[in-house]
Chain A
């Protein structure tokens, strides 16, 4: 049985003349926690966005879905980068989480009992029920991050696509996020995230796609994040080489 929920076949993406991602061939295993790792400008976000269908592929193809009975047409849940959100926007926590139902009910139908139940459940699961009526700008950084995870939960996605979920998040919250992802994984959901912190990818993720415009390597984390591969991706500017060397011994 084929259990690769995302399959990238020779994927190339251009912005005008600039080549952002070049002939990437890799798979994302269903139920894995896969990190896209690479230096700035390596095409991490581009690969995520191409997966969501926002970029036309110059060459190649991305096939979505595996042989699992529920995964012929898996649903995406997308969590944007924190920096992309206008936190002054007149929106409450609940109203943002309700947006998660938009894909299912469309622009016209009103919220049914099921939808309200899903929104309430997502708010509770993320510990936001008490502050559901607050404006999003009045939350702490961790709460803000959880609002968007709750929206993704309310979407009911099979594949969680996260763009730099750990960006600007303090250490304690990183731990919470990771355990949240692991819980989703146990529910047979797939986590696919752009991560620029090499250490974090090594500690928390089961699989890694190592990218520097071209694919360097992909597969289980310990097989991919070897010193040779990291040097190939980062050149001489490896951020944490000291931390990497002992692994060779």
Chain B
């Protein structure tokens, strides 16, 4: 019988663990819900690209303003929104399809970002790994407040615009036929994705942040045939998986980002094998 007290209670005496659990739980909920939307809109990889494109904004902000939370948050936010707007402009003004435009911009942004962070390193000590994979040790109380604001905003948006989001995702044409603007829903969702990614950066880093969005959502779609239940399960998985992952990172002394994503990955792989809608067992 493992000592539950030692496993789950003792880590909580450390403030960084408490903060990490709080931020993981909050972003697990909102990320899990947004992930469902991204998956149903076939934007999973686009979300990944978006996460990578945040790096140059953080790098530039770091060079200009130092490692303050607001600077990094603002820099990443600006970079993310630029990537969204740039993609939309490329899609409209050129022959590029949206995914090609996103792919091209994101790899460009990411390369510039790595270059900028490396330049910064020659002047001050910055760890590129920290930006890429996050560090739960660095979560400040300001990070917590930001995550709280962002995840609350996401929950409120889902509550207020539930039908709008569902209908625009399921049948954009029909949504427009009811006289409403689908592009507002689309860009509103993208803005929420950018905000959640930025809020998750400190704990997870640009490369792994989207794992908290996509893995719970992909897992949940394997279980339920109803939208509301899928959203709820995805949010629940986001919370449980992130928190368990964080404990695992404490027990095994591995970085928090990979531990969380790996834990969510366990749920996903198990579900692929046993879940009713997976389709694997029918073969």
Q: Which residues of chain B have C-beta atoms less than 8 A from A135's C-beta?
A: 225-226
**Which one of A78, A95, A107, A108 contacts B177 once the chains associate, using CB atoms below 8 Å?**
A78
**Closest residue to A80 on the B side, CB-wise?**
B173
* Chain A residues in 8 Å Cβ range of B161: 107
Contact residues, A51-87 vs B (CB, 8 A): 52-54, 76, 78, 80, 84-86
Across the interface, B171 reaches (CB within 8 A) one of A53, A92, A99, namely A99
Task: Specify which of A89, A90, A107 lies most central, judged by the most chain B CB atoms within 10 Å of its CB.
Answer: A90
Residues of chain B contacted by A102 (CB below 8 angstroms): 163, 167, 178
Contact A78 B173 (CB under 8 A): yes
Give the number of chain B interface residues (Cβ < 8 Å): 22
Per-residue interface assignment for chain B, residues 159 to 203, with 1 indicating a CB less than 8 Å from any chain A CB and 0 otherwise: 011111001001101101111000000000000000000000000
Give the shortest distance, in Å, between A15 (CB) and chain B (any CB). 12
Shortest Cβ distance from A161 into B: residue: B177
B70 at the interface (CB under 8 A from A): no
Assess the B226–A90 pair: CB atoms within 8 A.
yes
Contact of A90 among B163, B177, B221 (CB under 8 A): B221
A169 at the interface (CB under 8 A from B): no
Cα–Cα, bound, A54→B230 (Å): 31
How many A-B pairs with Cβ below 8 Å? 61
Q: Looking across the interface, which residue of chain A has its beta carbon closest to that of B220?
A: A90
- Whether B178 contacts A107 by the Cβ 8 Å rule is no
How far is B1's CA from A97's CA once the two chains are assembled, in angstroms? 52
A91 CB within 8 Å of chain B = yes
Q: In the bound complex, do residue A107 and residue B226 qualify as a contact, i.e. CB atoms below 8 Å apart? A: no
Measured CB to CB, the closest approach of chain B to A202, in angstroms, equals: 28
Q: Does B227 contact A (CB under 8 A)?
A: yes
Interchain CB contact (< 8 A) of B226 among A54, A86, A91, A103: A91
**Residues 55-98 of chain B, each 1 if its beta carbon lies under 8 Å from chain A, else 0:** 00000000000000000000000000000000000000000000
A96 cross-chain contacts in B, Cβ below 8 A: 170
Q: Kindly state whether residue B40 has any CB partner on chain A within 8 Å.
A: yes
Residue in A49, A86, A103 whose beta carbon sits within 8 Å of that of B40 in the complex: A86
Residues of chain A within 8 A of B16, CB atoms compared? none
Task: Assess whether B174 is in contact with A90, with CB atoms less than 8 Å apart.
Answer: no
Indicate if the CB atoms of A76 and B167 lie closer than 8 Å. Answer: no
Interface string of A88-127 (1 = CB under 8 A from B): 0111100110010011000110000000000000000000
Q: Which residues of A contact B (CB under 8 A)?
A: 49, 52-54, 76, 78, 80, 84-86, 89-92, 95-96, 99, 102-103, 107-108, 135, 137, 151, 161
A selection of 19 A-B contacts at a CB cut-off of 8 Å is: A53-B179, A54-B173, A54-B176, A76-B177, A90-B224, A90-B227, A90-B230, A91-B225, A91-B226, A91-B227, A95-B226, A96-B170, A99-B167, A99-B174, A102-B178, A107-B163, A137-B225, A151-B174, A161-B177
Q: A52-B177, A53-B176, A90-B229 are in contact. List 13 more A-B contacts (CB 8 A).
A: A52-B176, A53-B179, A54-B173, A85-B170, A86-B170, A89-B40, A90-B224, A90-B230, A92-B225, A92-B226, A99-B170, A102-B163, A161-B177
Q: Which B residues contact A (CB, under 8 angstroms)?
A: 40, 160-164, 167, 170-171, 173-174, 176-179, 221, 224-227, 229-230
